[in-house]
Amino acid sequence: GDSVTQMEGPVTLSEEAFLTINCTYTATGYPSLFWYVQYPGEGLQLLLKATKADDKGSNKGFEATYRKETTSFHLEKGSVQVSDSAVYFCALDFQGGKLIFGQGTELSVKP
Amino acid sequence: GAVVSQHPSRVICKSGTSVKIECRSLDFQATTMFWYRQFPKQSLMLMATSNEGSKATYEQGVEKDKFLINHASLTLSTLTVTSAHPEDSSFYICSAFPGQGDYGYTFGSGTRLTVV
């Protein structure tokens, strides 16, 4: 079945470091891909999305490119801030309504 | 933008009692809403799909008699945890799809349920 695999956390970085969170997926078809962010004690917020191959989603300095050939959607940011500390979820939507989430990656950014 | 309001944000209840969680779409109509459950430091697991005016569709392994879902209007879905037990303690999150023009599901802020 469809699934999403993320790199395990927690990831700890210093402020201004480069961030990569790997995400790969398995799907029979061409899903839309998403990154969501969850701050402590809160719900999920859509960070960025891509709906077809080679699309690049971007928001708040974060980027991810939909790579069909490697079935990946890695999240990157060139310079992280303390305020980026959160849990990041990669997700796909193939069935038109049911989001399938990865296990989440906790990011901690130290000053 | 599309906003989903979830209430309450935190609730503590005694074992054996029932708890109702509300999920409202504030500025759009949602014929379909989704209920997720999140265990500590784990991912979100879809529990059920709530359909306005019809029965909810539950995922495999989710007890429909334990988790009652009602979607009586285009802006409100409720999840009732019946006869709650400590193992029902969790973070429950709802989401809705605003529709065309914004391909992203909007999530409520979640409800932390603690059963004592």
- The pLDDT tens digits for A14-70 are 999 999 999 999 988 889 999 999 988 788 889 999 999 999 999 999 999 999 999
What pLDDT shows up at residue A86? 96
Distance from CA of B86 to the nearest CA of A (A): 20
DSSP structural state of residue B99 = -
> Which residue in B42, B43, B47, B106 has the most chain A C-beta atoms within 10 A of its own C-beta, making it the best mutation to test that interface?
B43
What pLDDT shows up at residue B31? 85
Reported as a single tens digit per residue, the pLDDT across A94-106 is: 666 678 899 999 9
With a cut of 80, say whether residue A80 has pLDDT above it. yes
pLDDT in tens, chain B (116 residues): 678 999 999 999 999 999 999 999 998 888 889 999 988 777 889 999 998 888 999 999 999 999 999 998 999 999 999 999 999 999 999 998 776 555 568 889 999 999 99
Which tokens belong to B64? 């429909």
Residue B99 touches chain A, beta carbons under 8 Å: no
Residue A35, number of CB atoms within 10 A of its CB: 26
- Asked if A104 lies within 8 A of B95 by C-beta distance, the reply is no
> Which residues are paired to A77 by β-bridges?
A19, A62
What pLDDT shows up at residue B114? 96
> CA B96, A29, A49, A8: dihedral to nearest 10 degrees?
100
Cα(first)–Cα(last) distance of chain B, in Å? 37
- Asked if B105 lies within 8 A of A101 by C-beta distance, the reply is no
Residue B44 with chain A: CB contacts under 8 Å: 44, 89, 99, 101
- Asked if B43 lies within 8 A of A89 by C-beta distance, the reply is yes
